[in-house]
């Protein structure tokens, strides 16, 4: 058995880990991205592919990352140095550590937009939000977006500063149950609108006309993003996990949580849009603007708009907050472990990264709109770079590191440390050795080809 590194800040128990990991997983990806992709790629067919991938590929990666974290008690860089310390493996650790640094600032900018919308609903400005071009005008107003970004960032930094148990764990424990209740309330409300059942059917009944290879590729990309895989987060959270907790059990719960919220989000949004648009699925193709443009219009049409708007955006805010916190926590752990910094110092440095990169993203549609990278505004560029390029490479690095350096048997040993046998061991070994690396390369190639315009997703 490998030696167990010493004391470390830890989650108080199983539920602490599960809620924190679920808090990281459930975010803007579930509420905004999932419904829109499901609508676009064949409804029930997308759902089916997504669930199969999550149970096989997603499961494998969650187990693998959590086990590496717990085994080494380190954040990504240290974890990738623990077995072998070869240069190319170290690079994998760095990638896993840098991805969250890049995502955290722009994710917080979107978090700021959510704060703004919640604030407007709270002060009774629902009609204004539903007006044409409200969103466009808002995001091009640099002063306003920057201010709301800083509000959201301050919340995240405060939680990080409080440490693992008082910060991440406490916030997740409070907000995750509230989030489920809110999601149920809104979904029931949305499904009971006249004409909404068509939307429910659209979401759950497979439509093979819309099914294509891209359904699989986009379901794969979505699964990655949604489960917060390959960003060093699960390695970091695994390092805070106690030995007697079942990694498999935790992975199952996180998946169940994440997928249920995604489906609930689909049930909140798609039926509402159907009811609003008189059954026209084209209204769903709104893509990125679905949540900020279409939804306020849909709510405005529904009668009790202010209350629903407040509930909806409060839910999105909680989801986005726990995800942003997980990103920042992973960065903080890297600074503490690698540079020996205190929590305070790590938080200060994170503040600098957050404000620096976040400001570029927040001003990118307004004052800095003429600066683009490969034709993308800053926010879109950071999103592309982290999710489409670096994340798949980081995941590939994890697979190779596990198979070549850590060795699969060590992972199995770690998973079985709680005393129970590894139930899906065979699947795990096959997936991590063969299927995951191939899938990851496919995502990488497809998403780059998509941005370069060779294929359309």
Residues within window 71-110 making contact with ligand PHE, judged by CB under 6 A: 103
221 is an interface residue for ligand PHE by CB under 6 A: no
Residues within window 327-366 making contact with ligand PHE, judged by CB under 6 A: 327
323 is an interface residue for ligand PHE by CB under 6 A: yes
Contact 58, 254 (CB under 8 A): no
220 is an interface residue for ligand PHE by CB under 6 A: no
381 is an interface residue for ligand PHE by CB under 6 A: no
- Measure Cα distances from 336 to 8, 17, 76, 395, 433 in Å: 11, 20, 12, 23, 32
As given in the structure block, the two tokens for residue 131 are: 């007006």
Give the binding range for ligand PHE (CB under 6 A) out of 146-154, 213-221, 227-235, 437-445.
227-235
- 3-state class of 43 per DSSP? strand
Give the binding range for ligand PHE (CB under 6 A) out of 28-36, 52-60, 186-194, 267-275.
28-36
251 is an interface residue for ligand PHE by CB under 6 A: no
- Binding ligand PHE (rule: CB under 6 A), the pick from 18, 21, 22, 25 is 25
29 is an interface residue for ligand PHE by CB under 6 A: yes
Integer Cα distance of 161 and 138 in angstroms: 30
Rounded to a whole number of angstroms, the minimum distance from the CB of residue 84 to ligand PHE is 27
Rounded to a whole number of angstroms, the minimum distance from the CB of residue 322 to ligand PHE is 9
Indicate the DSSP class of residue 246.
Answer: -
Instruction: Report the half-sphere exposure of 11 (CA within 13 A, side-chain side).
Output: 29
| Residue 25 vs 295, nearer CB to ligand PHE | 25
Contact 178, 318 (CB under 8 A): yes
Which contiguous run of DSSP H or E holds residue 195? none
- Binding ligand PHE (rule: CB under 6 A), the pick from 18, 20, 23, 27 is 27
271 is an interface residue for ligand PHE by CB under 6 A: no
Integer Cα distance of 254 and 98 in angstroms: 24
Give the binding range for ligand PHE (CB under 6 A) out of 87-95, 238-246, 303-311, 321-329.
321-329
Rounded to a whole number of angstroms, the minimum distance from the CB of residue 432 to ligand PHE is 21
Integer Cα distance of 73 and 335 in angstroms: 14
326 is an interface residue for ligand PHE by CB under 6 A: yes
Rounded to a whole number of angstroms, the minimum distance from the CB of residue 369 to ligand PHE is 25
| Residue 233 vs 377, nearer CB to ligand PHE | 233
66 is an interface residue for ligand PHE by CB under 6 A: no
- Binding ligand PHE (rule: CB under 6 A), the pick from 45, 110, 231, 399 is 231
269 is an interface residue for ligand PHE by CB under 6 A: no
58 is an interface residue for ligand PHE by CB under 6 A: no
As given in the structure block, the two tokens for residue 143 are: 């002063």
Instruction: Report the half-sphere exposure of 342 (CA within 13 A, side-chain side).
Output: 4
Output the DSSP codes for 374-399: TTB-HHHHHHIIIIIIIHHHHHHHHH
Question: Which residue from 2, 10, 33, 15 is spatially nearest to 261, judged by alpha carbons?
Answer: 33
Phi, psi of 131 (to 5 degrees): -70, 150
Give the binding range for ligand PHE (CB under 6 A) out of 26-34, 41-49, 204-212, 420-428.
26-34
Rounded to a whole number of angstroms, the minimum distance from the CB of residue 291 to ligand PHE is 12
| Residue 275 vs 443, nearer CB to ligand PHE | 443
| Residue 298 vs 325, nearer CB to ligand PHE | 325
Rounded to a whole number of angstroms, the minimum distance from the CB of residue 436 to ligand PHE is 18
| Residue 30 vs 294, nearer CB to ligand PHE | 30
If one counts every other C-beta atom within 10 angstroms of the C-beta of residue 213, the result is 11
236 is an interface residue for ligand PHE by CB under 6 A: no
CA dihedral 155, 157, 162, 167 (to 10 degrees): 60
**What is the maximum span of the chain, computed from C-alpha positions, in angstroms?**
63
35 is an interface residue for ligand PHE by CB under 6 A: no
Which residue's structure tokens are 């909140």? 268
28 is an interface residue for ligand PHE by CB under 6 A: yes
- Measure Cα distances from 83 to 285, 325, 404, 406, 436 in Å: 47, 29, 10, 6, 21
Integer Cα distance of 319 and 107 in angstroms: 12
- Binding ligand PHE (rule: CB under 6 A), the pick from 18, 23, 24, 218 is 24
Question: Which residue from 47, 5, 398 is spatially nearest to 200, judged by alpha carbons?
Answer: 47
Binding positions for ligand PHE, rule: CB under 6 A: 24-25, 27-30, 103, 225-226, 228, 231, 233, 323, 326-327
């Amino acid at each position: 058995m490998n030696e167990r590194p010493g004391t470390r800040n830890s989650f108080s128990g199983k539920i602490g880990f599960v809620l924190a990991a679920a808090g990281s997983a459930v975010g803007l990806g579930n509420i905004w991205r999932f419904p829109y992709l499901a609508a676009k790629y064949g409804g029930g067919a997308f759902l089916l592919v997504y669930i199969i991938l999550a149970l096989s590929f997603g499961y494998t990666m969650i187990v693998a990352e959590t086990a590496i974290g717990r085994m080494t008690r380190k954040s990504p860089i240290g974890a990738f140095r623990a077995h072998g310390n070869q240069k190319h493996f170290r690079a994998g650790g760095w990638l896993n550590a840098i991805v969250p640094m890049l995502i955290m600032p722009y994710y917080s900018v979107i978090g700021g937009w959510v704060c703004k919308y919640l604030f407007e609903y709270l002060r009774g400005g629902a009609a204004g939000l539903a007006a044409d071009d409200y969103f466009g005008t808002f995001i091009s107003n640099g002063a306003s977006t920057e201010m709301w970004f800083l509000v959201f960032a301050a919340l995240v930094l405060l939680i990080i500063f409080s440490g693992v148990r008082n910060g991440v764990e406490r916030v997740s424990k409070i907000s995750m149950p509230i989030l489920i209740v809110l999601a149920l309330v809104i979904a029931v409300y949305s499904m009971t609108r006249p004409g909404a059942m068509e939307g429910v059917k659209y979401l759950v009944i497979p439509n093979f006309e819309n099914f294509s290879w891209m359904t699989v590729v986009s379901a794969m990309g979505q699964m990655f993003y949604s489960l917060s895989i390959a960003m060093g987060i699960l390695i970091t959270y695994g390092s805070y996990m106690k030995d007697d907790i079942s990694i498999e059990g935790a992975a199952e719960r996180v998946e169940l949580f994440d997928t249920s919220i995604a489906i609930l989000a689909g049930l909140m949004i798609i039926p509402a849009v159907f009811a609003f648009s008189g059954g026209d699925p084209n209204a769903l193709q709104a893509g990125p603007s679905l949540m900020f443009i279409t939804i306020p219009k849909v709510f405005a049409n529904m009668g009790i708009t202010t209350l629903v708007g407040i509930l909806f955006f409060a839910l999105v805010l909680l989801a986005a907050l726990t995800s942003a916190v997980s990103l920042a926590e992973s960065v903080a752990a890297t600074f503490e472990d690698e540079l020996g910094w205190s929590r305070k110092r790590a938080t200060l440095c994170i503040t600098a990264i957050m404000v620096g990169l976040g400001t570029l993203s927040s001003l990118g549609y307004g004052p800095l709109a003429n600066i683009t990278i490969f034709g993308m505004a800053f926010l879109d560029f950071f999103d592309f770079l982290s999710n489409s390029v670096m994340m798949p490479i980081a995941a590939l690095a994890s697979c190779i590191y596990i198979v070549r350096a850590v060795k699969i048997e060590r992972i199995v040993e770690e998973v079985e440390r709680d005393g129970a046998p590894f139930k899906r061991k065979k699947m795990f070994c096959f997936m991590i050795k063969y299927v995951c690396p191939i899938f990851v390369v496919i995502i990488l190639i497809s998403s780059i080809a998509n941005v370069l315009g060779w294929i359309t997703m």
